Amino acid sequence: MLSLRDALESALIEDPDNLATHYAYADYLQEQGDPRGEFIQLQLALEGPQRSEAEKRKLQVRAEELLREHEREWLGTLADIPCLEYRFVRGWLDTLLVRDSADKVPCADLRLALGSAQAARLLRKLVLENDDGLVEALLDSPFLHNLRVFQLGRPMNGFYDPSQVVESPDLVELIAQLPRIEELRLFAADYNATHLFALPNLSSLRVLQIYYWTEYLTEYPLEVLADNPALGNLTHLFLHPPPFIGPGIGLAGVRAIVTSRHLRRLTHLQLHRSDLGDVGCTEIVTSGILKRLQVLDLRYGEITDTGACILADCPDLRRLELLDIERN
């Protein structure tokens, strides 16, 4: 039979947004003399919109005192891993950022630390600035069940540098283990994009950002993405192929996206370095997608003045908050 603590933690894992369970868990911990109970109550109280700034400052000071005093206990061996940044929400580890640094994070250490840190069981956001075996090490980790936001790599500043692209052959296997994922931002290559776009567990995904993926002489497999019924909740799609390598985004892929019967909730569409050209502008207009979009970003393509006029003449264009066709 489950203890009360185990029952409350299991309930939070299944429904981490249930405030009543968070309060009950905090009360239980306080009854047991666990200072994390007070910490949870303080962070919950800080969410209250009716509190004055003075009240919030007082609560924040006390929460910071508790965190300084007990964070090593709550983080466990995570506290010993270099290059980590983190944030607590409602007394649980909510966000974890693993920086790319000369001090490489030992993969086995990170896996063991996350697996043993009770406070990481409700982790919502994970950012890995590099792979270096970390993705493989995290496969089957218990915290994956609740992860909502995952980012691998980071956008480059300035010119594209292929030596800076994160290679991650195990990436798709990891994403396949994220049943609640809502946001994927992948600044990486060397993974199977066809398999990624066909995953059946992406029904909660709202934001998909794919930068720098490349496979020699292969276009992005957008027909696969457009045909995936699990992507019905996708609202933001951002695609940016690397320059000078392969064809990137072709007209057929653009046609598949704008006419997809599954991608009906798209409001933000970014198609960089596409060869859709003026014909693609006609495809966009006739598809009716401009009735739904708020932002359309077609930079770095092959659109001429003719294509720009085709877009400008569409009555639905006025619905857009932003149309960007610079550098065509």
pLDDT at 19 (0 to 100): 97
Helix (H) or strand (E) holding 239: strand 236-240
pLDDT at 29 (0 to 100): 98
pLDDT at 162 (0 to 100): 84
Specify the pTM: 0.95
Q: Does residue 313 register a pLDDT over 70?
A: yes
Phi, psi (deg, nearest 5) at residue 185:
-125, 110
Q: Does residue 122 register a pLDDT over 80?
A: yes
CA distance 168 to 129: 11
The DSSP line for 14-60 is H-TT-HHHHHHHHHHHHHTT-HHHHHHHHHHHHT-TTS-HHHHHHHH
Across all residues in the chain, what is the average pLDDT?
A: 94
Q: 78-87, 106-115, 117-126, 268-277: which has the minimum mean pLDDT? A: 106-115
Tokens of 103: 């001090």
The number of CA neighbours under 13 Å toward the Cβ of 118 is: 12
pLDDT at 118 (0 to 100): 85
Handedness of CA 27, 76, 152, 97 (dihedral sign): positive
Which domains, and CATH codes, for the chain? 148-324 (3.80.10.10)
The residues pairing with 89 across neighbouring beta strands, listed in sequence order, are 92
Q: Does residue 102 register a pLDDT over 70?
A: no
- Return the closest-CA partner of residue 165 out of 152, 176, 174: 152
Cβ neighbours around 168 below 10 Å, total: 24
> pLDDT tens-digit profile of 172-223?
999 999 999 999 999 999 999 999 999 999 999 999 999 999 876 689 999 9
> pLDDT tens-digit profile of 235-269?
999 999 988 776 689 999 999 999 999 999 999 99
Tokens of 276: 């859709």
> pLDDT tens-digit profile of 10-45?
999 999 999 999 999 999 999 999 999 999 999 999
Distance of CA 259 to the CA centre of its chain: 25
Indicate the pLDDT class of residue 115, thresholds 50, 70 and 90: confident
The residues pairing with 85 across neighbouring beta strands, listed in sequence order, are 97
Phi, psi (deg, nearest 5) at residue 80:
-95, -5
Q: Does residue 273 register a pLDDT over 70?
A: yes
Apex 78 CA angle, 76 and 79, nearest 5: 80
Average confidence (pLDDT) over 73-91:
93
The DSSP line for 285-306 is HHHTGGGT-SEEE-TTS---HH
Phi, psi (deg, nearest 5) at residue 322:
-150, 130
Q: How far is CA 221 from each of CA 93, 229, 276, 296, 300, rounded to the nearest angstrom?
A: 36, 15, 15, 20, 19
Give the three-state DSSP class for 227.
Answer: coil
Q: What one-letter code names the amino acid at 13?
A: I
